[in-house]
Amino acid sequence: MDLYLRKVLHPQAVDNYRVLLKDDGLEVEVGSIGIQHGSGATEHWTWAIDTVIPMREVDAQGRGKDQKDCMRQFRAAWDKFSADSARLTEFLQTKRRRL
């Protein structure tokens, strides 16, 4: 299952990306990776799988050192989540209804 990044085009979204999955010829947004701004002008990289269905035992979000580390963590969480074909089907059906 191939995942891709698409840069978010917004003046306030520097180094923010949507994670895309190609499914039956459609690009489906399944999550995000980007820099978040915290208190005291701190910045940190974060990743998150879109929680359109309950995520049960899988961690749906986290922090990383940089974009590459976030993509690695996202991929590991996504692989674990998508290994359950029933949950993956429910997730993709929910996403498609929103298109």
Query: What totals of helices (H) and strands (E) does the chain contain, helices first?
Result: 2, 5
Closest CA to 5 of 64, 70, 82: 70
The helix (H) or strand (E) run that includes residue 92 is: helix 85-97
pLDDT tens digit string along 37-84? 877 778 899 999 998 888 765 689 999 999 999 999 999 999 999 999
Looking at the predicted structure, is the pLDDT value of residue 12 above 80? no
DSSP 40: G
Report pTM. 0.86
